[in-house]
Amino acid sequence: MARYDVAVIGGGPGGYTAAIRAAQAGAGVCVVEMDKVGGTCLNRGCIPTKALLSCTGVLAQIKRAEEFGIKVGEVTTSWKQMLERKDRVVDKLVTGVEFLFKSYAIDLINGKATLFDKNTIEVETSNGGDNELTASHIILATGSRPAYIPAFDIDGKQVITSNEALDLAELPESLIIVGGGVIGCEFACIFSEMGVKITIIEALDRILNTEDRQISQRMRGVLRKRGITIHTNAKITQIKKTAEQVTAVLESGEEISAQQAMVSIGRALNTQGLGLKKVGIKQGARGEILVNERMQTNIENIYAIGDVVGKLMLAHVAARQGMVAAGNIMGTHEVMDYRVVPGAIFTHPELASVGLTADKAKENGYEVNLGNFSFMALGKALAMGEAEGTIRLVADAASDKLLGAQIMGPHATDLIAEVALAINKGLTAKDVAQTIHAHPTLAEAVFEAAEDVHGMAIHVAKKKGH
Ligand code: FAD
């Protein structure tokens, strides 16, 4: 029987990061993966969606070519070629992770893993064979999958999830997107750019409800301008099907029809068949694996990371949790800190946030100073023709330390990194304002917003009282 210091179950961003970090510290490591390494993120999530968004981003630019003094002839698109490009990007990254495993002598075992006891894993390999391995430490990183709601009768054809949406042989004329969260809104941008008539149906009172209220309202306006219909406070009781169309029946009695529907209302955790009960691993009310701040379960030598622990279901959180778990196994004391986790939404324009919103900061007892800056006043954004959006910095009035940021605008998802670093290191608005930012860049928006915290932004008109 093969023996390892660390066995990781699941090769997504959580699992593969943990495996590499443990191997870097000298452990003998294996990863058991029943599908492809890279998990949801590389194969069915972050990367394929962003590869498709890059295609539709080029299309959006071409549609505006005349604005830039460029005349283009008739524009045709090939969804098939876009999918092929997406697959090439995914393959490159998956192969890259496999290469990293080889370079760190990490054994990749293809098969479905079940815990037999606290040190033994049974692996059902793809050819039906059974293998057993033992490990001093085990990291559970089995991730999540789209949640299936019986009333929606998801069949993978007329009613699909994000998994099938990434490989549609043909684009529908119209699509209902059930759920106006991050995944729903990103797909709405991809498909609407390709000419699909999109209707988003959201049960809550606003789309992107984890974001600042003002920003999510502005995004609603942007999506509407692009021809996307949005229903909020709209609960679907049933999705009816005929051969030609699907019809969402709302609680109000209203019926909305389209050629297909995509359900993106949440994720189910991959804990079934993992042997958790057998080994006595504690789970929470949603089935999530319970862990302490060191990512350790109630069984001392077993850790759990990523979506399956049900905290923030993001690839970069999974990766960080993987580093924390591996670090603790290998003898460095590390704890998971969720205070500074950037969120990135790849709509057009992009949204990004980190730390506290102004409302949340006030709820937490802070008096705040806000710094705002509009991309409309930024040279680089105007030159790019991408001036829609704003940045808001939230600073503690007493100490001037940055508490949070919300950005809507070009490359918001890249710009947020500077503020995340500033908050993480306890920097003040003044620290950011006193840092010279290159001109002309989008990063100057962060600088101007930091100056605006004290009413000193050069490219903002004088305010009353200053
Ligand atoms: P996963 O990536 O789900 O990997 C788990 C792996 O475990 C899988 O490969 C699975 O096959 C394997 N596995 C499960 N059970 C077993 C078993 N018993 N034996 C062996 N192997 C097993 N996050 C972002 O941060 N940014 C984004 O832009 C973003 N976009 C997304 C877009 C979409 C459409 C979706 C669906 C998700 C997106 N996410 C994004 C979320 C992100 O993909 C997840 O948070 C992340 O993949 C979680 O990583 P993980 O390692 O916990 O699990």
The pick from 32, 42, 46 for probing ligand 1's pocket by mutation, whose C-beta has the most ligand atoms within 8 angstroms, reads 46
CB-CB contact of 261 with 179 (8 Å):
no
Question: 2-146+268-329 is classed in which CATH architecture?
Answer: 3-Layer(bba) Sandwich (3.50)
In this structure, the residue with its CA closest to atom 35 of ligand 1 is 45
Q: Pinpoint the residues of the chain covered by CATH 3.50.50.60.
A: 2-146+268-329, 150-265
pLDDT at 127: 75
pLDDT at 466: 59
CA 21, CA 134: separation in Å to the nearest integer?
20
CA 312 to chain centre: 9
Phi and psi for 116 in degrees, rounded to 5?
Answer: -95, -50
Ligand 1 centroid from CA 87, angstroms: 17
Is the CATH number of domain 150-265 3.30.360.10?
no
- State the fold for domain 343-452: Enolase-like; domain 1 (3.30.390)
Tokens (6 digits) for 351: 């949204």
Ligand 1 centroid from CA 207, angstroms: 23
Residues 6+ apart with CB under 8 A from 59: 75, 77, 193, 194
SS3 153: coil
CB-CB contact of 51 with 86 (8 Å):
yes
Atom of ligand 1 nearest to the CA of 50: 28
Ligand 1 centroid from CA 110, angstroms: 17
User: Which residues, judged by CB distance below 6 Å to any ligand atom, belong to the binding site of ligand 1?
Assistant: 9-15, 32-35, 39-41, 44-46, 49, 112-113, 141-144, 162, 183, 270, 274, 306-308, 313-316, 318
Low-confidence ranges of the chain (pLDDT < 50): none
Q: Is 459 a catalytic residue?
A: no
Does the pTM surpass 0.85? The reply is yes
Q: Pinpoint the residues of the chain covered by CATH 3.30.390.30.
A: 343-452
- Rounded (5°) CA angle 89-97-416: 70
Atom of ligand 1 nearest to the CA of 305: 52
Atom of ligand 1 nearest to the CA of 187: 34
How do residues 66-96 score in pLDDT, each as one tens digit? Answer: 999 999 999 999 999 999 999 999 999 999 9
Q: For residue 430, give the nearest of 460, 455, 462 by alpha carbon.
A: 455
Query: Residue 149 half-sphere exposure, CB side, CA atoms within 13 Å?
Result: 17
Does 172 sit behind a cis peptide bond, omega within 30 degrees of 0 on the bond before it? no
